[in-house]
Structure 1
C-alpha cells in the first residue's frame, strides 16, 4: 500500500520571461527541499512567457501553472490557488533571492506565524542589487507609512521573498493584480490580526540581462496609493474632522463680527478661508466614511469595526437626504431673508460688512447640505446588491 505524503511547503515563483535565471532558482529550491527533508513542491506561476520559461521549469522538475490574467498579483493569486502545500514561500525568479536558504522562514511558519517577511536591510543587500532610489527613499518611506497606518511590525514592506500559511492568505481574499499585491498582503494580514513576523534575508544583483519588470515611479505610486486609500482614518478622517471643526466654528464666530487672538485679528477675509477649510474638511470626512463602507462591502477591511458597523446602519440615503436638506434649507432661508431685506430698501446699497458675513455662513450651510445629499446618493449606489459571477 502506497503512503501519500502530505506536501508541507510550496515554493512559488511568479514568472514572465525568466529563461535566463529560472533554472538556477528551481535548482536551488530543489536543493533546499532535498537538504532540509521538507516535503515540498516547486510551482512556477507563468504569466504568459514567450521565451521558453515553461519548458525550462518542467525540465527542472517544477510544476507550471499558466495564469492568463496579467500582472504580478494575478500570477501569485493563480499560484497560491494551485499550491498544494500547507505553507507557501514565494520569491522572484530572477536569482536575486537565495531559495537554498529558507530555514528561518519554515521555522517561523511551523511556529504558527501566518506571514513571514524577509528583511533585506537586516540580511544584507549586495552592491548594485537595489537602486539607491529604492534603498534610501522608496522602501523606507513606504515601509514607514505601513507601520504608522497599519501597525505592521515590518521594516521591509516590499521584500519579494516571503512565506505564509496558505489558508490564512486565502481567508484574506487578496484581490489586487499588480505590484501593489505585495502591500495588500501585509496590510490585510495586519488588519486581520494575523501573526506577522520578519526574518533576515539577503538580496543580490539579479542575473537577468534585460531590465526588471518593476517600474520605480509607476509601481511606487501604486503601492503608495494603495496604502493611502486603505487608511482613510489617518489620511482623511482625522485631519478632515479637525479642519471641519475649526472651519465651521471660525466661520460662525465671524458671522457676528471680527475678533482677535492676541495681536492677530480675524475678519471677513478670514471667514472666507475658514468656510473653504470647513468644506474641504467635510469632504474629507465624507470620503473617509464612504471609502470605508466601500472597502467593507468589498471585503477589504478585516476585521470589520463594530463601531463603524453601528454608524453604517444609522446612515442611509434617506437619513443623509433629510440632514442635507435641512442644512441646505437653513442656508437658503437666510439667503431669501437677505434678498427680502434688500428688496425692502429698493435694492439699493447694503451694509457690506454685515451682509457678506451672513452670506458666507448661509452659503456654507447650503454647500454642506448639498454635499450631504450627494454623499447619501452615493451611499445608495454602494448599497445596491449586485449578483456577482
Structure 2
C-alpha cells in the first residue's frame, strides 16, 4: 500500500502525552481515509515512551545525535509518505485536525506552516515572553530578511512533501531547525503557505525542553548568518556613506552645530567608519562565497557577476591608486613640516592632511590584500 502521509513526532521522555497524540493521528487517518504511518523519532527516552509507541504500532526510529532538529531529520529520512507532517508529542497540537495541511499539500504547496497567532493560543499554552516578544520579533526579522510572508516562523506543526525536504538539505540540529526549514524553502524557491493552527497547553508535568534565551539566540543567529546582506552588506554601506560624506566635509573645514565644533578629532573617527565599513564589505563577500560554495545558499546570477567585476587586476590597480594618493598626501605633509624647519606645527591644519594620508594608505593596502585573497577563492569560478 502506498503511504500518502507520514506523521513524525520527535520524542524525548513524552510518556505522559505520547499515547494520546498517536491515537489522535490514527483516528485522523481513519476518519479521512488516508493511508498513513506514524514515526516516533526517539532521542533517548528512558521513561517508557518507546514501549508506548511500539504497543500502539507506531514505528520507532532511534536517533543518537541529540537535538530537536536531529530527531526530526532522523524520523523524516525514514518516512515513506509522499507528504510529511511534523509536530511535538506533548499534545499541544491536535493531530485530529490535520486536514487543512493535507488540503494545501494536495493543492501543490511544498511547505505548509501552522500559524498559532491566526488560529488561537489557549490560555497558558505559550509563555508571555514567547508570545509577545520572542516569536513576533524573530518572525518579523525572518520576514524582513528573506521576504517570506509567514507570520509564525516557529510553529512546530507543519507539513511538507518528502521531495521538498530532500531539496531543502537541512543542516541544523537544534531548535533553529524550524527557522532553517522556512528559510531554505524560500531560497530553494519552493511554494510556501500557512494555515491557522490552535496551540493548546501541553500535557506534560515537567518543564519543556525549549530554553527561552539560548534557543531564541540560536534562531536569531541562524537568521542573521544566512542573510549576509543584513549582517554585513547593509551595515557596510551605511558606515561607508556616513564616513565618506562626513570626512569630506571635515577635511574642507570644521563643522559647528550650535556650541559644538567638530574638527580633526572627529575626522579621525569618521575616517575609521569607512575602514570599518570596508571590513564589513570584505566579510560580506567572503561569507557569500563560503555559503554558496558549501551549498548553504543557492548560487544566483549576481554571485557569478561578483567574480566578473571583482578580479585581481582591477583590485590591484584600485589598491595601488589609493596607495599612491596616500603617499602623495604624506609627502605633502612632510613638505609642510619641512617648510617650518621641522618644528612645531598647527595640529588643526596638518591633521587634515595626515589623517587622509594614513587612511588612504591603510585602505589601499586592504584593497590589495583583499584582491589577492579574493582571486584565490575565485580560481574555481574562472575555469
TM-score, normalised on structure 1? 0.89
Residue number in structure 1 paired with 2:305: 310
Residue number in structure 2 paired with 1:20: 16
Residue number in structure 1 paired with 2:26: 30
Q: Distance in 2 between matches of 1:111 and 1:33?
A: 19
Pick one of 237, 244, 264 that aligns with 2:240: 244
Q: Distance in 2 between matches of 1:322 and 1:56?
A: 70
RMSD after superposition: 2.5
Would you say the 8 A contact 1:252–1:361 is kept in 2? no
Residue number in structure 2 paired with 1:72: 68
Q: Distance in 2 between matches of 1:22 and 1:313?
A: 56
Give the secondary structure class of the aligned counterpart of 1:177: coil
Pick one of 29, 52, 58 that aligns with 2:48: 52
Distance 1:311 1:133, change over 3 A: same
Gaps of 5+ in 2: none
1:337-348 alignment to 2 at 5 Å? 338-339=333-334, 342=337, 345-348=340-343
Give the secondary structure class of the aligned counterpart of 2:292: helix
Gaps of 5+ in 1: none
Q: Distance in 2 between matches of 1:11 and 1:236?
A: 39
Q: Distance in 2 between matches of 1:58 and 1:137?
A: 39
Would you say the 8 A contact 1:233–1:288 is kept in 2? yes
Would you say the 8 A contact 1:294–1:382 is kept in 2? no
Would you say the 8 A contact 2:167–2:188 is kept in 1? no
1:84-103 alignment to 2 at 5 Å? 84-103=80-99
Would you say the 8 A contact 1:44–1:63 is kept in 2? yes
Distance 1:86 1:244, change over 3 A: same
Would you say the 8 A contact 2:330–2:354 is kept in 1? yes
Pick one of 357, 364, 372 that aligns with 1:362: 357
Residue number in structure 1 paired with 2:273: 277
Query: In the comparison of the two structures, how many residue pairs are matched?
Result: 380
1:254 equivalent to 2:256? Answer no
1:351 equivalent to 2:346? Answer yes
Distance 1:374 1:221, change over 3 A: farther
Distance 1:381 1:126, change over 3 A: farther
Q: Distance in 1 between matches of 2:308 and 2:47?
A: 54
Q: Distance in 1 between matches of 2:373 and 2:50?
A: 47
Q: Distance in 2 between matches of 1:30 and 1:11?
A: 10
Q: Distance in 2 between matches of 1:21 and 1:382?
A: 52
